[in-house]
Amino acid sequence: MIQINTTEKQQHRKLFVTWAITFLILFPVLILLGMLMRIKQGEIIDISMSKFYSFMTLHGLGMAGVLFSIALASLSYLLGTRYSKISVSLGYYVYYGVVIGVVGLVIGTLIGEFGAGWYMLYPLPFKGAYWTDWSLGVSFFSILILGVAWLIQCLHILNSIAKQYGGFKNILGWQYLGKSEPAQELPSIILISAVSVLASVFAVLAGAVMDILFLMQYFEPSLELDPLMMKNIIFFFGHTIVNATMYIGIAWLYAILPEFTGRDWKITKVVAIAWNATFFFILFAYLHHLYMDFVQPLALQYVGQMASYFSSVPATAVTMFGVIGQLYRSKVGWSMVPVMFLLGVAGWAIGGFAAVVDSTIAVNRALHNTLWVPAHFHTYMLMGIVLIIFAFLYYIGANENKDNDIEPGWGFKTFVTGSYGFLLMFYLGGLFSIPRRFSDYAGIDTQVIHETGALLAKIAVVFITFILIGLASMYSTLIKKLLQSLKFQA
Amino acid sequence: MSLVILPLTIQTTAALVSLLGTLLVVSVVVYLFKTSSDYEEKSSAKAKVYRMRDRYFLGLALTILIVLITSLSMLPYPKFHKNPDSVVTVVAMQWLWKMAPEAIAADQDLVAFAGKNEITLPVDKLIEFRVTSADVNHNFAIYNSKGTLIAQTQAMPKYYNNLQYKFTEKGEYEVLCLEYCGMPHAYMVAKIHIE
Ligand code: HEM
Ligand SMILES: [Cu+2]
| pLDDT tens per residue, range A230-257 | 999 999 999 999 999 999 999 999 999 9
Task: Judge whether B1 lies within some domain.
Answer: no
Q: Is the pLDDT confidence value at B30 over 90?
A: yes
Residues B67 and B159 in one domain: no
Residue A404's contacts (CB-CB under 8 Å, 6 or more residues apart) are A398
Cis amide leading into A258 (omega within 30): no
More confident: A433 or A488: A433
Q: Does B162 touch chain A (CB under 8 A)?
A: yes
Q: Does B111 touch chain A (CB under 8 A)?
A: no
Look at residues B78, B100, B128 and tell me which one is the last residue of a structural domain: B78
- Residue pair B79/B91 in contact (Cβ under 8 Å)? The answer is no
Q: Give B120's strand partners.
A: B193
Ligand sitting nearest the alpha carbon of A27: 1
More confident: B105 or B11: B11
Nearest chain B Cα distance for residue A103, angstroms = 24
- Residues in A 290-309 with any Cβ partner in B closer than 8 A: 292-295, 298, 301-302, 305-306, 309
Interchain pair A293, B154: CB under 8 A: yes
Interchain pair B156, A448: CB under 8 A: no
Chain A CB contacts of B78 under 8 Å are 294
Give the chain A residue nearest B38 (alpha carbons): A329
Cis amide leading into B95 (omega within 30): yes
Substitution site in A56, A59, A67, A372 for ligand 1 pocket (most atoms within 8 Å of beta carbon): A59
DSSP assignment of A28-85 equals HHHHHHHHHHHHHHTTSS---HHHHHHHHHHHHHHHHHHHHHHHHHHHHHHHHHHTS-
pLDDT tens for each residue of A36-45: 999 999 999 9
Chain A CB contacts of B63 under 8 Å are none
Max Cα distance, chain A (Å): 69
Look at residues B31, B47, B78 and tell me which one is the last residue of a structural domain: B78
Q: Is the pLDDT confidence value at A184 over 90?
A: no
Residues B66 and B117 in one domain: no
Residues B86 and B37 in one domain: no
- d(Cα A230, Cα A122) in Å, to the nearest integer? 6
Q: Which residue from A325, A238, A245 is spatially nearest to A285, judged by alpha carbons?
A: A238
pLDDT tens for each residue of B122-160: 999 999 999 999 999 999 999 999 999 999 999 999 999
Number of folded domains that form chain B:
2
Residues B74 and B87 in one domain: no
Q: Is the pLDDT confidence value at A130 over 80?
A: yes
Superfamily of domain A6-487: Cytochrome c oxidase-like, subunit I domain (1.20.210.10)
- Residue pair A281/A311 in contact (Cβ under 8 Å)? The answer is yes
Residue B182's contacts (CB-CB under 8 Å, 6 or more residues apart) are A124, A127, A128, A129, A130, B94, B95, B136
Task: Judge whether B122 lies within some domain.
Answer: yes
Identify residue B83 by its one-letter amino acid code: N
Q: Is the pLDDT confidence value at A183 over 50?
A: yes
The percentage of chain A sitting over the pLDDT mark of 90, rounded to a whole number, equals 95
Task: Judge whether B131 lies within some domain.
Answer: yes
Q: Which residue from A352, A208, A199 is spatially nearest to A280, judged by alpha carbons?
A: A199
Range(s) of the domain holding residue B44: 10-78
Residues B106 and B134 in one domain: yes
Residues B113 and B173 in one domain: yes
- d(Cα B99, Cα A459) in Å, to the nearest integer? 37
Residues B51 and B140 in one domain: no
Interchain pair A446, B143: CB under 8 A: yes
- d(Cα A40, Cα A45) in Å, to the nearest integer? 6
Of B36, B182, B185, the CB nearest to A331: B36
Task: Judge whether B119 lies within some domain.
Answer: yes
Residues B89 and B66 in one domain: no
A416 lines ligand 1 (CB under 6 A): no
Task: Judge whether B2 lies within some domain.
Answer: no
pLDDT tens for each residue of A422-481: 999 999 999 999 999 999 999 999 999 999 999 999 999 999 999 999 999 999 999 999
Task: Judge whether B68 lies within some domain.
Answer: yes
Interchain pair B21, A331: CB under 8 A: no
Residues B74 and B88 in one domain: no
DSSP A406: P
Task: Judge whether B25 lies within some domain.
Answer: yes
A9 lines ligand 1 (CB under 6 A): no
Q: Which of the residues B180, B188, B192 would you substitute to probe the A interface, choosing the one with the greatest number of A C-beta atoms within 10 Å?
A: B180
Look at residues B58, B78, B98 and tell me which one is the last residue of a structural domain: B78
